[in-house]
Structure 1
Amino acid sequence: MAIHPVYAEAILDGTKKVEFRKRRLAEDIRTVWIYATAPVQRIVGEFHIGETVVDSPETIWSSFGAVGIIEHSEYQSYFAEKTEAVAFVVQGATRYETPVALHELEPRPSIPQSFSYRHA
């Protein structure tokens, strides 16, 4: 999952306890690799999804805004004109000792615009 470095860091240090998205993941996805976007451009860690909550953007904000580490105005802009928001509750985040560049993986994935799937 592509995540801005400031939010990736907040997930890994335990202050960001939920990741907001516009779309759900496949139901069988339990572990998310954290791809920190530019300037890092590496997979810096992973987290497990404790729960996936889908509701209106207003309800999701009421439930998780305090632990989402995003300004309310940015959140509102991200979900502008959307009727549904998704909150992935972060559980068990792990920082990788050595971040991994995408070109080091086989098969080589493309840079995720939001998220991409990789089968083990």
Structure 2
Amino acid sequence: MAPTAPRAVVLLPIQPQYATPILNGLKRVEFRKRAFRREVSHVVVYSSSPVKQVVGFFEILGIDEAPPAQLWRRYSRQGAILKEDYDRYFSQSDEGVAIRVGKVHVFQKPFPLGDIAPDLRAPQSYAYLSADDFTKIRGRRALVT
């Protein structure tokens, strides 16, 4: 039997209005237009402008791919997003993704991407992180919510 490939970790830029509810435990699903290309175990949350800091990470409970209308019916109560904003986000998409948020680790002191790797920049969509980078991130003081 061949060994299974290790699951990946992604850096995901999230607007502060959606990152904060994830950290507070109010947003249990993150919506995206496209699925990851690899199997992913954790998401490192980069709160985008104006915060521009790594604020925490979460374990993925599961990923659901479906048309946006179906995702809304399944996860609207957990998504912490207004219906009109959701519809605008998915207006040109036939498929969508719901990333189910598991255990959340909130950093006591958020930090810039350069603390992970000097040349790391915020990705447009997402970026895979190395195992060494994730080890550095997990070593920071975090509260579990």
TM-score, normalised with respect to structure 1: 0.95
Q: Which has the larger radius of gyration?
A: 2
Please give the alpha-carbon distance, in whole angstroms, between the structure 2 residues aligned to 1:101 and 1:81. Answer: 32
Please give the alpha-carbon distance, in whole angstroms, between the structure 1 residues aligned to 2:55 and 2:65. Answer: 26
1:42 corresponds to:
53
1:81 corresponds to:
92
1:43-67 superposed Cα distances (whole Å, 9 cap, x missing partner): 0000111010000000000000111
1:46-103 superposed Cα distances (whole Å, 9 cap, x missing partner): 0111010000000000000111010001100100121101000000011011112012
Counterparts of 1:1-120 in structure 2, within 5 Å, are 1-106=12-117, 108-120=119-131
Query: Aligned residues: percent identity?
Result: 34
**Deviates further, 104-113 or 8-17:** 104-113
Structure 2: 5+ residue stretches without partners: 1-11, 132-145
Q: Aligned letter for 1:18?
A: V
CA distance 1:12–1:18, change in 2 (3 Å)? same
Please give the alpha-carbon distance, in whole angstroms, between the structure 1 residues aligned to 2:53 and 2:76. Answer: 27
Please give the alpha-carbon distance, in whole angstroms, between the structure 2 residues aligned to 1:117 and 1:10. Answer: 23
Say how many residue pairs are matched.
120
Q: Segments of 4+ in structure 1 off by > 3 A?
A: none
Query: Once superposed, what is the RMSD of the aligned Cα atoms?
Result: 1.1
TM-score, normalised with respect to structure 2: 0.79
**Deviates further, 45-54 or 19-28:** 19-28
Please give the alpha-carbon distance, in whole angstroms, between the structure 2 residues aligned to 1:6 and 1:44. Answer: 13
Structure 1: 5+ residue stretches without partners: none
Please give the alpha-carbon distance, in whole angstroms, between the structure 2 residues aligned to 1:107 and 1:28. Answer: 26
Q: How far did residue 107 of structure 1 move?
A: 5.1
Please give the alpha-carbon distance, in whole angstroms, between the structure 2 residues aligned to 1:29 and 1:17. Answer: 17
